Amino acid sequence: MLSSTVTTLQDNSAHGEDNLLTKDLGNGDFLDVVMDGVTGHGGEQASTELAEALNGTEPANSDEIQTVLEEMNADFYSVGAGRFLLTTVSAVLGRGNQLQIVTAGDSPIFLINKDGHQKISGHAGGFMHVGVARAIGASEQLGQTHRVEVQPSPGDRLVLATDGITDNMSIDELAEVVRNAATPEAAAESIESTIHMRLQDGYVPETLGVRFRYDDRTCIIRFFE
């Protein structure tokens, strides 16, 4: 795996239901995860318990992440019957020279470089019904997860985000900020500054729906060197 540096951004003041995990697995390998608990449906408990379960593992591949998600889905459904204990999850496992990605729900993952950006998974700009349907805990059998492998190149930048960020900044805006930042920390500061300004104004660009959407915001930003 390419060497990399990483930082996180989190403000859980809206609902307290987002969670994140970034774990160093040694030799440049890592596990990055964001979770967005579903508001009004035990989201805080679900995202916290899922983060703890994933933190207790050192997955060798995406199949092992999938197994954890299936086990937690069964636990959540047995308690909440699909109405309680619901959360999205977007996980990136860096092993060797590959990024192995597993997502359930709509929290997007982006790969950004000097030439452009690619949305690898998830939806940006609003929590869609399909996101709820595929959330962990929503059905007795875990709904279809999105799984893909990507090989990063030196200079690539990885972003995992929840909708408190992507509802209030467009993909193009996020990509420009991250692309132009010298460090992950500088990118996080620029994102937080933009969102704080829009929160104060109460407005976002028309392409995002005009009105600011107040929600928890979580982001993991990783730069490959």
Strands (E), 40-197: 89-95, 98-104, 109-113, 116-121, 146-150, 157-161
The structure tokens 């692309």 sit at 179
* Mean pLDDT computed over 115-136: 68
pLDDT at 218 over 50: yes
Q: Which helix (H) or strand (E) holds 75?
A: helix 62-80
* Mean pLDDT computed over 21-32: 97
Q: pLDDT at position 22, please?
A: 98
Q: What is the pTM of this model?
A: 0.94
Of the CA atoms within 13 Å of residue 21, those in its CB half-sphere come to: 24
* Mean pLDDT computed over 67-71: 98
Q: pLDDT at position 121, please?
A: 84
Fold classification of 4-224 (topology level): Phosphatase 2c; domain 1 (3.60.40)
* Mean pLDDT computed over 22-47: 97
The burial class, CB within 10 Å (0-12 / 13-18 / 19+), for 69 is buried
Determine the 3-state secondary structure of 155 from DSSP.
coil
Q: What's the full length of the chain, in residues?
A: 225
* Mean pLDDT computed over 58-75: 98
- Between 86-100, 125-139, 185-199, the lowest mean confidence (pLDDT) is in 125-139
Give percent above pLDDT 70 in the chain.
95
pLDDT at 133 over 70: no
Token reading at 32: 């990055």
pLDDT at 123 over 80: no
